């Protein structure tokens, strides 16, 4: 008889993760955090702070010339040093990624329906009518209009927001316990950004998914996540409850990120920024 799953084990546990470039430069340096089912963790930092490399290392997707040390456990399975078969299994059953540019996830020459079908065949073993129904169900789940027609479209025939919905549908196909979204709205129009954030929040809530949400934007982080790690030069400089971090940032770098979000908010609202004390997460 197998032991019952330990409710205390987080879906994602990152412990002293380090990413090294070929020459030995530390691009990510001793990063640790955990995310449990249903939790939403933000990773924020300026360009080059190591957010994307952290996200890629968690999924075992670092490119050539980069190596990782430390520990990344996804639903209890160690990713660092794992062989390709283990990584493929973990990527098909535990973790999925959504990137900034949906076209990176899509083949421009393949109809959208076939692309969404790919992970359903590979990871869930669906075939024939079941597969067809599975594709339509996923496309409905991400609120794509008229899925019966869209399955026959090519990516270039869709809007940027629709393409990101398709990429999210593909990421959800394996019913991942952990979803990593790396700046998923940065490439989209402002109005579409809000819709995609709403979609992500809905699907992680409905499935109890653990979410890692990477962004350079404190306002977006405060809207989407409940905890945040702040990265600078590859290392975590601050971690905490999002509302606390915004209200009382401890590190000067975090304070700068919060202040610039406030200044942007104030500019959008046509007024001078308030002198501290209020939160920055007031994106309309």
Give the footprint of ligand ATP on this chain (CB under 6 A).
21, 27, 45, 47-53, 63, 65-66, 216
Q: How far is the CB of 231 from ligand ATP (least distance, A)?
A: 7
Structure tokens at 27: 């691009």
Nearer to ligand ATP, 139 or 181 (CB): 181
Q: Which ranges of the chain does DSSP label H, i.e. alpha helix? A: 51-58, 84-93, 112-124, 128-141, 147-150, 160-172, 190-207, 218-224, 242-247, 252-269
Q: Which is nearer to ligand ATP, 153 or 233 (CB)?
A: 233
Q: CA-to-CA distance for 137 and 159, rounded, in angstroms?
A: 20
Helix ranges, 110-180 (H): 112-124, 128-141, 147-150, 160-172
CB of 23 to ligand ATP, least distance (A): 9
User: Of the two residues 53 and 230, which places its CB atom closer to ligand ATP in the complex?
Assistant: 53
State the residue for tokens 């920055």: 280
CB of 42 to ligand ATP, least distance (A): 13
Q: Phi first, then psi: what are they for 215, rounded to 5°?
A: -160, 155
Q: How far is the CB of 48 from ligand ATP (least distance, A)?
A: 4
The minimum distance between CB 215 and ligand ATP, in angstroms, equals: 9
**Residue whose CB is less far from ligand ATP, 141 or 182:** 182
- Please say which residue, 135 or 197, places its beta carbon nearer to ligand ATP: 197
Residues 23 and 83: their CA atoms lie apart, in Å, by 23
Q: Which of 268, 269, 270, 249 is nearest to 258 (CA)?
A: 249
Categorise residue 242: left if φ over 0, alpha if ψ from -120 to 50, beta otherwise. Answer: alpha
**Looking at beta carbons only, is 225 or 279 nearer to ligand ATP?**
225
Structure tokens at 91: 């990527």
Q: How far is the CB of 250 from ligand ATP (least distance, A)?
A: 20
* Tokens (6 digits) for 104: 């990176």
């Amino acid at each position: 008889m197998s032991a019952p799953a330990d409710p205390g084990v987080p879906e994602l546990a990152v412990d002293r993760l380090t990413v090294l470039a070929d020459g030995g430069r530390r691009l990510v340096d001793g990063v640790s955090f955990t995310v449990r089912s249903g939790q939403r963790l933000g990773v924020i930092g300026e360009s080059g702070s190591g957010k994307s490399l952290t996200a890629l290392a968690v999924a075992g997707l670092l490119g050539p010339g980069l190596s990782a040390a430390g520990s990344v456990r996804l639903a209890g399975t160690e990713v660092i040093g794992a062989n390709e078969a283990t990584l493929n299994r973990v990527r098909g059953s535990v973790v999925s990624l959504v990137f900034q540019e949906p076209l990176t996830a899509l083949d421009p020459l393949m109809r959208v329906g076939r692309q969404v079908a790919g992970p359903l065949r590979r990871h869930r073993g669906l075939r024939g009518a079941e597969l067809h129904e599975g594709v339509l169900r996923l496309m409905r789940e991400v609120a794509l209009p008229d899925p019966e027609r869209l399955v026959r479209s090519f990516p270039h025939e869709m809007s940027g927001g629709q393409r990101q919905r398709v990429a999210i549908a593909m990421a959800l196909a394996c019913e991942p316990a952990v979803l990593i979204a790396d700046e998923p709205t940065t490439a989209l129009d402002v109005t579409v950004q809000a819709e995609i954030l709403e979609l992500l929040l809905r699907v992680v809530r409905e499935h109890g998914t653990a979410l890692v949400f990477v962004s350079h934007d404190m306002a977006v982080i405060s809207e989407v996540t409940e905890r945040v790690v702040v990265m600078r030069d590859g290392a975590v400089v601050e971690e905490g409850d999002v509302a606390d971090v915004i209200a009382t940032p401890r590190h000067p770098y975090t304070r700068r990120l919060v202040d610039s979000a406030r200044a942007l908010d104030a500019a959008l609202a046509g007024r001078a920024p308030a002198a501290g004390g209020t939160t920055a997460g007031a994106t309309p």
